[in-house]
Amino acid sequence: MALLETKNLGITFGGLRAVGEFEISIEKNELVGLIGPNGAGKTTIFNLLTGVYVPTEGDILLNGESIVGLKPYQIVKKGLTRTFQNIRLFKDMTVLDNVKIAFHHKMQYGVPNAIFRFPGTRFWKEEKEIDEKARELLALFKMEGSCNSLAKNLPYGEQRKLEIARGLAADPKLLLLDEPAAGMNPQETRELMENIHFIRNNFDVSILLIEHDMHLVMGICERIIVIDYGMVIAKGLPDEIKANKKVIGAYLGN
């Protein structure tokens, strides 16, 4: 059974059909790229998958279970997290706290325990546990040195990295990356590619990524899906996509 499967997924805003008949199936530990010209509907698809928009047609199955109509935070619990095209960090919080937020749904202690912190209660156990986990995760991304600095003070590339780390902290089965290389220089893009490889090798997670940097997409994705005007125009291996007439037409005009 595929990890993520969509059936005839679509959404209409008024008279505009932004996405239609979108079908995708992602297996465990796959790395899939989603590309297409500007305005093709890539981010809309991410918004559909993460529950920001409710699809007007079709179904989304995560592990065989429909997640249509669930709130974004409920979908995160089911194991699907994302990053954003324009970085959305909690800017005035520390790097460590940014990661800790993502553990929120894994924690159990209630408000009374937060106020009456008797020794040995859940509060201490869970706070200690996530503190260790968050530091561990940041160490994996070589960011342990900036644990206590504010997220807004990080360099751009590090902010991207932190957002991905935060997404991973929520312990997803599928991670959606929305243009992770946007605004990066070639050096930073290369590091990002290494990081994505690293995530694939060290975490038990599938990745679906939107990207305009073809070097990156062709370099790391196992499969690529191309959309234009909200419709899938091609699917296949990177080399097949490179040679596809429809894809070239969508990007360059016929």
Partner 1 sequence: MKKWQEYGTTLIGIILLYIFLIVLMAVGLVNGYHQGVLVLIGINVIAATSLNLATGYLGQLALGHAGFMAIGAYTAALFMQMIKVINLPVDIALVAALIVGGLMAAFFGVIIGIPALRLRGDYLGIVTLGFGEIIKNAIFNLDFTGGARGYRGYLGSINLTKMYIIVAIVLTVLFLLIRSRHGRAMISIKEDEIAAEAVGVPTTFYKIFGFATSAFFAGIAGGTLAFYQKMIDPKKFTFMYSVEIFIIVVLGGMGSITGTVVAAVILGVLNEFLHVIDQWRLVIYSILLVIMMIFRPEGLMGSKEFSFVGLVKWLLKKMNKSSVGDDKDSASLEVK
Contact partners, residue 237, CB within 8 Å, separation at least 6: 222, 223, 224
Is the distance from CB of 75 to CB of 51 less than 8 angstroms?
A: yes
In the bound complex, what is the minimum distance in angstroms from residue 249's beta carbon to partner 1? 34
By DSSP bridging, strand 65-66 and strand 57-62 are: antiparallel
Nearest approach in angstroms of CB 18 to partner 1 is 19
User: Is residue 71 near partner 1 by the rule CB under 8 A?
Assistant: yes
CB 7 within 8 A of CB 59: yes
Choose which of 39, 69, 105, 155 interacts with partner 1 (CB under 8 A).
Answer: 105
| Residue 164 sits in the site that holds partner 1 (CB under 8 A) | no
Can residue 126 be called a binding residue for partner 1 (CB under 8 A)?
yes
With b for 16 or more beta-carbon neighbours within 10 A and e for fewer, the 134-164 pattern comes to bbebbebbebeebbeebbeebeebbbbbbbb
Q: Does 77 bind partner 1 (CB under 8 A)?
A: yes
Closest distance to partner 1 from the beta carbon of 209 (Å): 16
| Per CB under 8 A, 114 contacts partner 1 | yes
- Of the residues 82, 160, 161, 173, which one makes contact with partner 1 according to CB under 8 A: 82
Stated length of the chain: 254
Using the rule CB under 8 A, which residue among 15, 16, 64, 111 binds partner 1? 111
* Using rule CB under 8 A, residue 117 touches partner 1: yes
Q: How far is the CB of 215 from partner 1 (least distance, A)?
A: 28
Of 203, 189, 130, give the one whose Cα is nearest residue 161: 189
